[in-house]
Amino acid sequence: MGRLRRSRTHHGIRDISRKFRTRAYTKDLDQIHEDLKEGNIEKMKNQPIDADKTGLGQHYCVPCARYFPNDDTLQKHEKSKLHKRRVKKTQEEPYTQKEVCVKSICRQQCRNEPLNNAILCRLMLQQA
């Protein structure tokens, strides 16, 4: 028998992990935060019947952005740890673009003169 092929044998593992990482991608927290506003919650809970969605689109958990096949599984899900963690994360306000810009400006200024600009950075963050 000849020599077994030994080089490049693990490249498939990386490809499989990438596939699973992006396959079940759910909504981001800022998108869910938009769904949790007053008018949007009613729209998400009372969706029209859709045969392509699980449970015909009638049993939907808004904070987790998941459909369930029936009401019993939705009730079990609402008692689970995963749901409670997601609710806790969605209660925090998401970052706005203004906050990100202010923090980036603060970082640039603090690199040049750290002592003087540290006070300015705190004031800018309080105003944002």
**Distance (Å) of CA 75 to CA 22, 80, 87, 96:** 28, 9, 15, 33
Q: Does 84 score more than 70 pLDDT?
A: yes
Would you say residue 76 lies in a domain?
Answer: yes
- For residues 84 and 107, membership in a common domain is answered with no
Q: Does 107 score more than 70 pLDDT?
A: no
- For residues 73 and 45, membership in a common domain is answered with yes
**How far apart (Å, rounded) are the C-alpha atoms in residues 118 and 69?**
53
Which CATH number goes with the domain that contains 35? 3.30.160
Q: How many helices and strands in the chain, by DSSP H and E?
A: 7, 2
- For residues 51 and 103, membership in a common domain is answered with no
Output the pTM of the full model. 0.61
- For residues 54 and 109, membership in a common domain is answered with no
- pLDDT over 70 percentage in the chain: 62
pLDDT of residue 81: 95
- For residues 102 and 83, membership in a common domain is answered with no
Would you say residue 5 lies in a domain?
Answer: no
- In terms of pLDDT, which residue wins out, 39 or 74? 74
- For residues 60 and 113, membership in a common domain is answered with no
Judge whether 102 and 84 are in contact, CB under 8 Å: no
Q: Does 96 score more than 80 pLDDT?
A: no
The stretch 85-89 carries a mean pLDDT of 92
For 40-58, the pLDDT digits (tens) are 888 888 889 999 888 898 9
Single-letter residue type at 92: E
Structurally, how many domains does the chain consist of?
A: 2
The least confident of 1-5, 77-81, 103-107 is 1-5
Single-letter residue type at 34: E
**How far apart (Å, rounded) are the C-alpha atoms in residues 53 and 115?**
56
* φ, ψ for residue 38, nearest 5 deg: -50, -55
Q: What number of residues does the chain have?
A: 128
For 56-66, the pLDDT digits (tens) are 989 999 999 89
Would you say residue 13 lies in a domain?
Answer: no
Would you say residue 11 lies in a domain?
Answer: no
Name the residue range of residue 103's domain. 97-127
Residue 61 DSSP symbol: E
Would you say residue 1 lies in a domain?
Answer: no
- In terms of pLDDT, which residue wins out, 6 or 36? 36
**How far apart (Å, rounded) are the C-alpha atoms in residues 24 and 27?**
10
